Structure 1
Amino acid sequence: MTQLFYASTLFGAMTLAAAIDEGRFGPRDGRRILMVSNNAAIPEITPPLDETPGFAALRPRFDEIHSWNEIVAPLHPSDWKARVIEVPMLGRLLRSYLSLDDGPDELVVESVAVPPARTLAGLVKDCPISVYSDGLMSYGPTRDPLPAEISGRITRLLHLDLVPGLTPLLLAEYGVPAETVPERAFLDVLDGVRPDAGGLPAGQPMILGQYLSALDIVTPDEEAGLHADMLRGLAARGFGGALFKPHPAAGRRHAQRLRETARELGVELTVVAESVPAESCFAALRPELVVGCFSTALITARRYFGLPVATVGGELILDRLAPYENSNRIPATITDALLPRLSADGSLEEPAPVDLPALVGAVGYCMQSQVHPELREAAAAYVAEHGPARYFKRQRLAALDLIAPAPGGPSREVSPLGRLRRRLSRALS
């Protein structure tokens, strides 16, 4: 039996390793091939997954490691996909390159709705597909429709139980069952992966960087401003030092600009190497407070390590995410609704109590109403009770007939797309 696995992040690879250790892929009675992909904006200057220090502990679970970047070079793996007419030929070439013969017997991927995972699933045909999730996006709807040739082969969604009580919406429209990867298995993998954190100060607060400007969610100056507000908030709370963990795909500019803010505040800033997972810092250094925007690592820090966490910039991010169905919306919604909010003056504000499953379901419906008509009634009830503030766009709610259009605003008959959406929604509900 030959199994082909795909991973692009260390966190995802650790989730995959935990599922393997739990026996979710059966006994090891054949080849296990891992295809790694570096999806950073400039992968040439970013360490690939299989060269990060923590990956060495995961490598024995696989018989072979191959680089998708090398296969598609000089094209970027997140941008390239085979043209329809090329699929049969490139599929044969890929199987020949990996010595797959007529296999593999199973394909295991993350983020199946977008390249490179979707590209790989389109080239590797005639085998079942397992999808595993490496973060909060599993609780949101599928980003883009999948062709029947791919969706019909997906047998399950493996995910960590990051938010107990929430059921993944990802792939639910295709009837794909969700399976939870046990917490203990993931923590055991993390313990084995842990790189040497020697030299890094323990007990200091930690700022988690992302790459929001690279995704065009905010401008580079706005992202630097968010990091600066995080550091100002920590300084106002009396911390004289802090750790900064940049996102591996973000480059070095965030750390450089945050160092300038640290000098202004008189705070000693320690930048954590890109190759050291944030989770390893949580385990080894036990930060007094972990601060970020909407990173999955915030939930991981609280859920699996019992660390205090806080968010900054949630309202800005929720407002800037576009289009509304942007797949980052559910992670941003969960962290904003669930976690305390840190202000630049050092104050911590607890969010108002919320029925999180109802909120996530309502946002998920507004993101993909056509494929989740079963959520309409609950979404309407939530919006009627709580109003459109913060997590919803009035224009989107009006287009879905969940609220009346604003007085003096465009009538519901102005937009042909809006009319089509409502007709589809009514036909499916």
Structure 2
Amino acid sequence: MTQIFALHSAYGLATAAAAIDDGLPGDGSERLLVPFTSSRVPETAVGIADDPVLRSLRARFDRIEPLEDVLGPQHPSSWEPEEADLPMLERLLVRAWGLDPDDLEVFVQSPQVAPARTLMTLFPRARITIVGDGLMTYSPMRVRLPYPVAARVRRVLHADVVPGVRPLVGSPDAELVPVAPERFAAVLRETDEAGRAAVPGADGASTVLVLGQYLSALGLMTPAQEIDLQARLVDRAARWAPQRIVFKPHPAAPPLVTTAVRDRAVAHGIDFVEYRGPLAAELLAERLDAVAVVAGFSTALPTVRALFGREIGSAGLDAVLSGLTPFENSNRIPATLVDALTRDGSPYTAPERLQLLVDAVGYAMQPEVAGHLRGRAEEFLDGLDPRERDRYFSARRLGELRLPGAPRENLLRRAVRPAGGVGRIEEWRLTALGARRRLGRAWRALRGR
């Protein structure tokens, strides 16, 4: 059997490599890596096919066939061929990559969108395994996959960075295959090149690592709000009384963000160092021997806690959660998880309680795709403290889904609320029209017509 790994992120590649080391994907006569770049402007990014720090991870595969070699100038995310062209494309790829179409397993990241969705459809007889991509793995699917595809999703392979919590991506019947934290940590350490270039601030001083995410570029907040958030992250970091703050900004973030962090650190009397090197945040925390890592809702937070035992912190997530639109925004579960793991006095320290929160939010995000979770959502919301409810759910969403805790409907809202696919007023009109027609038929029958 040939196993095709269509991956686009270093995190996904590390997950696959760690799984291979543990024998989790099972036996395959050949493992084929099909890397692609999901960046909006691929020419400005270093993809996993070329990144030198990922060289040893790529060595786990027998062959590498970059998807861009097939697509040419077309962006992978826009590769959505017509259905009639799929059989032809299957034959072309079978010939180009030397495959047996009846003996394939396809491993994909981000299955809801191209090119992963295209590849799953293009090989109609292949078994499918979803490879987790950080905290997004814990979110339900954004769209319902066609049945011929969904029925072939057998497994979800994921780094177990939130131990005890089950991811929601994939079908409810898919087997969950967690990659052990220690195995994942070993693979991440491989990406720290043998040269181990010097890291500024790695001199034994008490340090907190602060990570930037550039949330304003995602439309999640304004630039001014992001600068304020970065300052609040420094306030959160100061609670560990470090001698130094090391700030790793998002590569695309403007200098104003770094300036805001530096000014806040100086105001606290804490030394400040900026790091713009290639080292992953998890490994940077290790090299710095950081007391803690602080960020918005970066995947690195639960990862450094689960893999390396570092303390983690965040700030401002209550505002982020309330501002996410629409409610099904794919960042909601990552933000919910990090908030629940880092907030003071969190009631979600037990994995069972955190799972219930994730299931309830997941259902509210995607009530059709995750319809099997409605009972879990009702269990969580029934009798929940209003402050907890309002932190993670909007009143409008609760009302739309008629979940416990929804605001009481007034007469007008009850009149227009859909029931059975139509509004109440329309339902009454149709009922009255039907009654009039029945009365007319009865009257004609009495008159002998």
Normalising to structure 2: TM-score of the pair? 0.82
Which residue of the partner structure matches residue 442 of structure 2? none
SS at match of 2:3: strand
Cα distance in 1 between the residues matched to 2:94 and 2:415: 52
CA deviation map 1:116-137 (0-9, x unaligned):
2112212233111111213222
**1:186 to 1:236, Cα distance in 2 relative to 1, 3 A:** closer
**Worse-matched range after superposition: 48-57 or 259-268:** 259-268
Which residue of the partner structure matches residue 61 of structure 2? 62
Within the candidate set 332, 336, 343, 2:335 is matched to: 332
How big is the shift at 1:197?
Answer: 4.7
Which residue of the partner structure matches residue 47 of structure 1? 46
How big is the shift at 1:318?
Answer: 0.9
Cα distance in 2 between the residues matched to 1:389 and 1:413: 25
Contact 1:208 1:245 (8 Å CA) reproduced: yes
One-letter amino acid matched to 1:282: A
**1:325 to 1:391, Cα distance in 2 relative to 1, 3 A:** same
How big is the shift at 1:237?
Answer: 6.2
One-letter amino acid matched to 1:398: G
Aligned-pair identity (%): 36
1:2 lines up with 2:6 in the alignment = no
One-letter amino acid matched to 1:392: F
**1:145 to 1:385, Cα distance in 2 relative to 1, 3 A:** same
SS at match of 1:61: coil
One-letter amino acid matched to 2:82: R
One-letter amino acid matched to 2:398: L
Contact 2:415 2:423 (8 Å CA) reproduced: no
Which residue of the partner structure matches residue 379 of structure 1? 377
Which residue of the partner structure matches residue 393 of structure 2? 392
More relative contact order, 1 or 2 (CA 8 Å, 6+ apart): 1
1:296 lines up with 2:299 in the alignment = yes
How big is the shift at 1:351?
Answer: 3.1
1:199 lines up with 2:193 in the alignment = no
How big is the shift at 1:350?
Answer: 4.0
How big is the shift at 1:419?
Answer: 5.8
How many residues of Structure 1 are paired with residues of Structure 2 in the alignment? Answer: 407
Matching of residues 256-275 of structure 1 within 5 Å:
256-265=255-264, 266=266, 267-273=271-277, 275=278
Contact 1:4 1:104 (8 Å CA) reproduced: no
RMSD (Å), alpha carbons = 2.7
Cα distance in 1 between the residues matched to 2:140 and 2:90: 29
How big is the shift at 1:112?
Answer: 1.2
Which residue of the partner structure matches residue 346 of structure 1? none
Cα distance in 2 between the residues matched to 1:157 and 1:422: 40
One-letter amino acid matched to 1:212: L
How big is the shift at 1:415?
Answer: 5.0
How big is the shift at 1:276?
Answer: 1.9
Contact 2:237 2:313 (8 Å CA) reproduced: no
How big is the shift at 1:410?
Answer: 5.7
Which residue of the partner structure matches residue 75 of structure 1? 74
Cα distance in 1 between the residues matched to 2:294 and 2:53: 23
CA deviation map 1:113-172 (0-9, x unaligned):
222211221223311111121322222222210012211111111122222222222223
Which residue of the partner structure matches residue 363 of structure 1? 361
Which residue of the partner structure matches residue 120 of structure 2? 121
CA deviation map 1:194-245 (0-9, x unaligned):
2325233225221222243333222344334322332354468655643233
SS at match of 2:76: coil
Which residue of the partner structure matches residue 180 of structure 2? 182
SS at match of 1:58: helix
Contact 1:109 1:131 (8 Å CA) reproduced: yes
Contact 1:241 1:268 (8 Å CA) reproduced: yes
Cα distance in 2 between the residues matched to 1:64 and 1:88: 24
Cα distance in 1 between the residues matched to 2:411 and 2:137: 35
Cα distance in 2 between the residues matched to 1:370 and 1:208: 35
SS at match of 1:14: helix
One-letter amino acid matched to 1:208: L
One-letter amino acid matched to 1:126: R
Which residue of the partner structure matches residue 413 of structure 2? 411
How big is the shift at 1:338?
Answer: 1.7
**Worse-matched range after superposition: 1-10 or 298-307:** 1-10
CA deviation map 1:331-350 (0-9, x unaligned):
1111111213xxxxxxxx44
How big is the shift at 1:68?
Answer: 2.4
**1:135 to 1:353, Cα distance in 2 relative to 1, 3 A:** closer
Cα distance in 1 between the residues matched to 2:347 and 2:230: 24
One-letter amino acid matched to 1:123: L
Matching of residues 11-30 of structure 1 within 5 Å:
11-27=11-27, 30=29
CA deviation map 1:69-113 (0-9, x unaligned):
443343332233222233222333333332325366211112212
Query: Gaps (5+ residues) in structure 1?
Result: 341-348, 424-429
**Worse-matched range after superposition: 39-48 or 226-235:** 226-235
Cα distance in 2 between the residues matched to 1:223 and 1:52: 30
Normalising to structure 1: TM-score of the pair? 0.85
Cα distance in 2 between the residues matched to 1:243 and 1:236: 15
**Worse-matched range after superposition: 396-405 or 190-199:** 190-199
Cα distance in 1 between the residues matched to 2:100 and 2:216: 43
**Worse-matched range after superposition: 362-371 or 229-238:** 229-238
**Worse-matched range after superposition: 384-393 or 163-172:** 163-172
Cα distance in 2 between the residues matched to 1:208 and 1:421: 48
